[in-house]
Chain A
Amino acid sequence: MTFLLLIVKNLTRNKIRSVVTALSTMVLVFVCTLVWSILAFLDSVTAEQSQNLKAIVTERWQLPSQMPFAYASSLSEGAASDPDDVQPEDAMTWQFYGGSLDPKNRTRDNSLFAFGLEPDKLLTMMDELDELPPERKAELAAVVDKMRGNRQALIVGRNRLAAINKQVGERIKLFGLNYREIDLEFEIVGVFPEGRYDNAAAFDREYLLAALDAWPATHNGRPHPLAEKTLNLVWLRVPDMQAFTQVDQQIEESPLYASPSVKCETASSGRASFLEAYRDLIWGMRWLLGPAILVTLALVIANAISISVRERRTEFAVLKVLGFRSHHVLLLVLGEALLLGVTAGLLSAGLTYYFVNNVAGGIPFPIAFFQAFYIPLDALGWGAGIGVLTALLGSALPAWSARSVSVSDVFAKVA
């Protein structure tokens, strides 16, 4: 028998208590993993890059941003007008189109939200899609190829496709939600690679523009109310911060964007601006919910270990009689808490990772323009870390108490 085996066997002493403590740990690690996954993702998308960064141009004073499409061409060139001006390496426009399959009964499941863009930009400008491994990139390129020859082509995320109960190859008609009376018919030509766009869709912007152009013909020559507000975002890729600063200055100083005026910011800064509306919620998640879970977990473990230590005072005294030193007793109690915490934490994080990513299709937590969040692989480390940290915090005092058990006090029959 080894010391570790002794620790393991001690955990089997009161199976119900150990199981309940482990389950409590798993539940709290589960919640913590969800919260931290969202925070970690938001942190990553708002972290500034110094090289190969993306900038976003949006309407300056209004959310959601709605700019005239006439801005698209010049903004895509970074408002460069002189030979010395810096031009972005690449650019992409976004026009948001939301539609429902059923105009009379609009539900979450029969609705679809799509980006109107230039299909080629799916390969070069869309976050994460521009960094796909070669094999998956080739699959996406094949879909983009179909979109080039078919203005009504639609690429859909796999979760959204499942939600609307359609398959690749089927045709659908969407009744406009934000573009009133602009109903579009699509042919589903492919699915997004698994991941960030599982609930999104994208189509050729020309299709929406054509529909807007055709609208006056059936409405007494009046343009669609959103005709001059159809450009929501322009993405620019610049090589470094210096180039970004230059492009930003060009756009700021350009007379082309007077009404409405626009602003240019890095993508991370832009996302941070979007998230500003959720600042209190995020603060609460980060500084209230997260710590509260850790403290609760530490207390759960402290309670279980304290009861165990109280019940085993005589046993610790016996161990000391047998030659165990105080630090052996300390390590024994800490070891039990650590083993329980690490095992439960790791198991919980692993199960959370598997079920959220592979079964549930992400955490449905719509915030800003992010629809769902996924558990990063780092969560396994968090689970183990939470287990270690809370086990140490929770068992420190009980372990010290066990270490300090006085043999003579325990076995004294006189006094």
Chain B
Amino acid sequence: MNGKQPMVLVDRVHKFYQRGSERLDVLDGLTLEVREGEFVGLMGPSGSGKTTLLNLIAGLDKPSQGEVWVGGQRISSMSESQLARWRTAHLGFIFQFYHLLPVLSAYENVELPLLMLHLTASQRRQQVLTALELVGLADRLKHRPGQLSGGQQQRVGIARAIVTDPSLIVADEPTGDLDAKSAVEILDLLEELRKSLHKTIVLVTHDPRAAERADRLLHLDKGRLAGQQQPSPEGVPG
């Protein structure tokens, strides 16, 4: 990928849902670009379309109109199967509520996405250990989610998101379920990952602390881009 081509291009995207005779417009002709290595925050009131936009960028949903390109590939025209393969190789997703499998250890949870790739057991092991070391949980390999704190569970979630070495990481309110101290630790970790691994991060948040870490902050309102700003060191108004 060259430096001129955006990592994410959302081009005049509409998304609406039909509820009986009523049409609910969630995204209304939205266009945006995210550069490679950029950390973009998405903010906006409830119902503004942040999560829908994130789902479109992650290939979890398809636009009603318009196109979505990620890493030079038009993911909005891919089949479900192609999208699943694409996600495995190119996307890391961090959830607000971690969504770790309770019956699996931290190691096994992080290993899950690698099961979809053609890797040997030793290759998988190497990648899992590297990911867990990066998030500071190398000593919690065998712990199950129930034995970890919220912050630790989210670290496992982040390790799972980066274990396949994706070019794009999307996060849906990753600090939304954490206490202040853990939230700061997670944001520090995301920032560190972006710097050291040069990942592109798109993050939906209501948390001003999370927003202030972003290179660029996009405000959505009623399915449109209402504005963008560079966060100041003093923080972002919530």
Contact = CB atoms under 8 A, between A and B. Distances in A.
A414 interface: yes
Interface in A1-51: 1-3, 6, 9-10, 12-13
Nearest to B48: A414
B101 interface: yes
A158 B17 CA distance: 77
Query: What bracket does the count of chain B residues touching chain A fall in?
Result: 35 or more
Given A322-B88, A408-B55, A414 B81 contact: no
A177 interface: no
Interface string B159-172: 01000100000001
Contacts of A10: 103
A322 B26 CA distance: 25
A254 B60 CA distance: 88
B187 to A, nearest CB: 21
Contacts, number: 84
Interface in A314-333: 314-315, 318-326, 328
Interface in B190-222: none
Nearest to A14: B103
Q: Is the interface of A mostly helix, strand, loop or mixed?
A: helix
B107 to A, nearest CB: 8
A3 B112 CA distance: 9
Interface string A395-415: 000000000000110011111
Nearest to B24: A415
Given A1-B111, A412-B51, A13 B103 contact: yes
B85 interface: yes
Contact of B87 (A13, A315, A323): A323
Contact of B116 (A13, A318, A324, A408): A324
Given A315-B99, A407-B61, A408-B55, A9 B88 contact: no
Interface residues of A, number: 27
Contact of A323 (B47, B52, B116): B116
B84 interface: yes
A322 B95 CA distance: 11
B58 interface: yes
B102 interface: yes
A278 B46 CA distance: 73
Contacts of A319: 112
B60 A321 contact: yes
B177 to A, nearest CB: 14
Given A13-B102, A318-B99, A321-B60, A3 B87 contact: no
A319 B160 CA distance: 11
B80 interface: yes
27 contacts: A1-B104, A1-B112, A9-B103, A10-B103, A13-B102, A318-B95, A318-B101, A321-B60, A321-B93, A322-B93, A322-B112, A323-B89, A323-B113, A323-B116, A323-B164, A324-B84, A324-B116, A325-B81, A325-B84, A325-B85, A326-B80, A411-B51, A411-B55, A412-B51, A412-B55, A414-B52, A415-B24
Interface of B: 17, 19, 24, 26, 46-47, 49, 51-52, 55, 58, 60-61, 80-81, 84-85, 87-89, 93, 95, 99, 101-104, 108, 111-113, 115-116, 160, 164, 172
Given A12-B103, A407-B55, A408-B60, 12 more contacts: A318-B99, A318-B101, A323-B87, A323-B116, A325-B85, A325-B116, A326-B81, A408-B55, A412-B52, A414-B47, A414-B52, A415-B19
Q: Pick the 5 closest A-B CB pairs, nearest first.
A: A323-B88, A408-B61, A323-B116, A9-B103, A318-B99
